[in-house]
Structure 1
Amino acid sequence: MPKIRLMIVDDHEVVRLGMRAAFELESDINVIGEASNGAEALAKINVLMPEVILMDVRMEKMGGIEACREIRSQHPQVAVLMITSYPDDEAVTASILAGASGYLLKNVSRTELLKAVRQVASGQSLLKPDTTRKAIAHMTSIASHGGTTPGDELTDREREVLALVARGYTNKQIAEALYLSEKTARNHVSHILEKLGLSRRSEAAAYAVEHKLTNPRG
């Protein structure tokens, strides 16, 4: 019986090693490769040809949701199972829209993790009806509470970051301007792209200019 070809994508090496160890003794699952971010995963797919990708939600360079969207567009036969450290309605919603087959927390038991990989490999979805309902309710709430106004889904801090992105600031320059760490600035940019359904900084900059969001208080 062919083994499930699994790729693990996470920006923490220790986490990847722990996940790999969870599958090593399984006769029906083969971890065929790893990646430290979404961009690296995309570059390796054609070579490794995974059936399932276990994908961290938030990573540097390219986050899991953006990568999931690209993977599902370019390789619709690949199932993507999102995994994160904490629950987040917006991330669940974005994952569903990106085409993920499931969403798990990193504190999931080994038994549940194995079951999840096997289920999505067989073509099943792990997105339970109540999870999907919550995601739909979340999207509806955004729309009904002013979400139709561009930028309303962003926090004040994210609007500040978006305004600086529109001015061409790098993550380092954003961090210096707002007294943040560079990693925090990078995470803000990733969250902005996820919330706006965009893939690149240039698209976020164009969005900000088009909708007059270049002034964070505007």
Structure 2
Amino acid sequence: MAKIRLMIVDDHEVVRLGMRAAFELESDINVVGEAGNGAEALAKINVFMPEVILMDVRMEKMGGIEACREIRSQYPQVSVLMITSYPDDEAVTASIMAGASGYLLKNVSRVELLKAVRQVASGQSLLKTEAAKKAIAQMTNLANHNEATPADGLTDREREVLALVARGYTNKQIAEALYLSEKTARNHVSHILEKLGLARRSEAAAYAVEHKLTQPKAQ
């Protein structure tokens, strides 16, 4: 029987080693490679050819949600299983919209982790029904807000910031990318949420994807 080709992506080497150890004795799972962030994972997919990627949500350079979105777009045959240290409804929703097949906490038992990888590899989704319903409801609400809060009111700079928010950038990463102070980046995000009538970054990211605002406005 062919082994499941698994890739582990986490920015902490000790965590990667621990997760690799959890699979070492399994006859049906082969850890084909590792990466320290989303950008590195994207660069290595053609080398390792994984079937499943176990992906940390929060990482420097490129976070797991942005990387998941890119991977699912470029390599739809690859399943992504998100894993994180803390429960976060916004991250669950964003993961669903990015195309993840599952979402786990790092304190999950070894048995549960193995089961999750096998289920995802077989094509099953591990996302809880309530989380999926929440994401769908969120997208519906955003669509209903379209006429009342048009994105036309955003400045070109705010569109640039919104595009980066949709890609999972933190305020610090936005500041670095656009050569701003972190405070200015945070203010831009606040203004965007206010103009769009939204409350959370994940809602802004969903709005950007739904309304094709993931690229800055053309000059």
Distance in 1 (alpha carbons) for counterparts of 2:34 and 2:103 = 19
Q: Where do residues 137-216 of structure 1 align in structure 2 (5 Å cutoff)?
A: 137-140=137-140, 149=149, 162=161, 169-170=175-176, 174-175=180-181, 177=183, 194=205, 197=208, 206=216
CA distance, structure 2, for counterparts of residue 148 and residue 57 of structure 1: 32
- What is the CA deviation profile of residues 4-52 of structure 1, one whole-angstrom value per residue up to 9, with x for unaligned ones? 1000001111111111111111111111100011110010001100000
* AA of the residue aligned to 1:44: K
**Structure 1: which 5+ residue stretches go unaligned?**
152-158, 181-189, 211-218
In structure 2, how many angstroms separate the alpha carbons of the residues matched to 1:63 and 1:31? 21
Structure 2 CA distance for partners of 1:104 and 1:147, relative to 1, 3 Å: farther
Secondary structure in 1 matching 2:65 = helix
Q: How high is the TM-score relative to the length of structure 1?
A: 0.70
Q: Give the whole-Å Cα distance in 2 for the aligned partners of 1:147 and 1:37.
A: 38
State TM-score, norm by structure 2: 0.70
Return the offset for 1:128: 2.6
Q: CA RMSD in A?
A: 3.4
Q: How do residues 10-25 of structure 1 correspond to structure 2 at under 5 angstroms? A: 10-25=10-25
Work out the CA distance in 1 between the residues paired with 2:110 and 2:181.
38
The aligned residue for residue 26 of structure 1 is 26
Match of residue 97 from structure 2:
97
Q: Where does residue 38 of structure 1 map in the other structure?
A: 38
Aligned residues: 185
Deviation at 1:63, TM superposition (A): 1.1
Letter in 1 for 2:92: V
1:30-77: CA deviation from partner (whole Å, max 9, x where unpaired) = 111000111100100011000000011111111111111111111111
- Would the alpha carbon gap of residues 149 and 14 (structure 1) be closer, same or farther in structure 2, given more than 3 Å must change? farther
Equivalent residue, structure 1, for 2:84: 84
